[in-house]
Amino acid sequence: MLQGVVSGLLFGGVYSLMAVGLTLIFGVMRVVNFAHGDMMVWGMYLAYVLATRAGIDPYASFLVCAAALFALGFVVQRGLVDRIVDAPHEMQILLMLGVALVLENVALVAFGPEPTRVRSPLASATLWLGPVFVDVARLVTFLVAVALTTALWAFLFRTDLGRTIRAAADNTYGALVVGTDVRRVYAVAFGVGAACVGAAGALVSPILPFQPPTGLSLSVASFNIVIIGGMGSLLGAFVGGLLVSLAESLGAVFLKPSLKELFSFSLLIVILLIRPAGLFGRRSA
C-alpha cells in the first residue's frame, strides 16, 4: 500500500500541473475549459509524433509541446472565446464543448482509436527508494512537473506580465482603466493554461496509455481537483492534484481497474454536492 501512496503522489505532479492550467484559465476569465483534457491528449499525441518521427524523447520535447499548446490556447481564446465574453454562460459551455468535440475527433481520425504509449528509455527503469520501488519515469515526470509549476508561480508573481494577468483576474475593469490590453492578457493566460497541459501530456505520455477518449477522463480529473482546491486558486489546484492522484491510486489498489472511472465520477458528484459554498458561493461558473 505504501507503494500505492508513493506512486500516487508521483503521478500527482502531473495532475497538479494539469489542474493549475485549468484554474488559471478560470481564475483569469471565468471560462471553464471543457476541452482541457482533450488539449492534454493533443500534448500526448504531439509528443508521440515527435518521438516516432523525430526520435525526440518526451522528456526533451515537453517544452515544444507546451509551446505548441500555448499557440493553440492563444488562438482558441483570441479567435473564439473572446467573441463571447459577454454572452450568457451556457454559450461559453457549448463553445468549449464544441472545441472539445473537434479536438477529440480530429485526434480520432488522425491517430485512430487504439491506445498508444510513447516509448522512452526511462520508462522501463526503476529505482529503489527505501522500502518502495519507483518508476524513474514517474519520478522524473514528478520533478519536472513540480519545476514547471514553480516556474509558473514565479512567472505569475515575479514578472510584470504575470502580475498584469493576476491584476486582470482580480479586477477586469480596474485593469482596463489602467490601460491593460485585457484581450491580450486573456489570450496569454489561456495559452499558458493550455501550455501546462501540453507539457503535462508530454511528460505523462510514456507512463499512461492514451487514446482520444482519454480526454474526457482527464477533463473530469481536472474538474475534480480544481473544484476541491477552489476554482481560481493556484495553491488549491496544486495541492488538490496531489490529493486526488493519491485518492485515485489508493482506489485502484482496492477496486477493479474498470471501476476506476466509476470512482472518479462518483468522487466528482460528491465534491460537486459538498463543495464549500464559501469558496465560491452561489455564483454561476
Partner 1 sequence: MKWVLVAGVLALLALPAVLSSYALTLFILIFFYGFLGQAWNIVGGYAGQLSAGHAAFVGVGGYTATMLSIELGLTPWVGMLIGGVLAALLGAIIGYLGFRFGLRGFYFVLLTVAFAEICRVAVSNIDALGGPLGLYITFTGNPRQFQFQDGRVYYYIALALMLVATLTAWAIERRRFGIYLAAIREDEAAAEALGVNAFKYKMLAMVVSSFLTGLGGTFYAFYLFSLQPNTLFGIPLSVEIIIRPIVGGAGTLLGPILGSFILTPLAEISRLYLGQGGLHGAHLIAYGVLLIGVVLFLPEGVYPRLRRALARRSGQTR
| Residue closer to partner 1 (CB basis): 54 or 277 | 277
Q: Find the binding residues for partner 1 in span 22-41 (CB under 8 A).
A: 32
Contacts 24+ apart (CB under 8 A), 275-281: 275/227, 275/228, 279/230, 279/231, 279/233, 280/230, 280/231
Which positions from 38 to 77 touch partner 1 by CB under 8 A, shown as an x/- string?
----------------------------------------
Please say whether the dihedral angle defined by the alpha carbons of residues 70, 75, 78 and 80, taken in this order, is positive or negative: negative
Helix axes 2-29, 214-229, angle to 10 degrees: 80
| Residue closer to partner 1 (CB basis): 19 or 156 | 19
* Contacts for 95 with CB less than 8 Å, ≥ 6 apart: 80, 81, 84
Tell me which of 40, 99, 118, 221 binds partner 1, using CB under 8 A. 99
Question: Cα–Cα distance between 105 and 132 in angstroms, integer?
Answer: 40
Tell me which of 151, 176, 178, 272 binds partner 1, using CB under 8 A. 272
139 binds partner 1 (CB under 8 A): no
Element (H, E) at 133: strand 132-135
Question: Cα–Cα distance between 103 and 197 in angstroms, integer?
Answer: 14
Longest CA pairwise span in the chain (Å): 58
| Residue closer to partner 1 (CB basis): 154 or 269 | 269
Using the 8-state DSSP alphabet, how is residue 25 labeled? H
Backbone angles phi, psi at 185, to 5 degrees: -60, -45
Which positions from 167 to 206 touch partner 1 by CB under 8 A, shown as an x/- string?
----------------------------------------
Tell me which of 93, 136, 247, 252 binds partner 1, using CB under 8 A. 93
Q: Binders of partner 1: how many residues, by CB under 8 A?
A: 44
Q: Are 186 and 169 in contact (CB under 8 A)?
A: no
Q: Name the one range near partner 1 by CB under 8 A: 100-108, 154-162, 173-181, 189-197.
A: 100-108
83 binds partner 1 (CB under 8 A): yes
223 binds partner 1 (CB under 8 A): yes
The residue ranges that bind partner 1 (CB under 8 A) are 32, 80, 83-84, 87, 89-91, 93-95, 97-106, 108-109, 112-113, 212, 216, 220, 223, 256, 258-259, 261-262, 265-266, 268-269, 272-273, 277, 282, 284-285
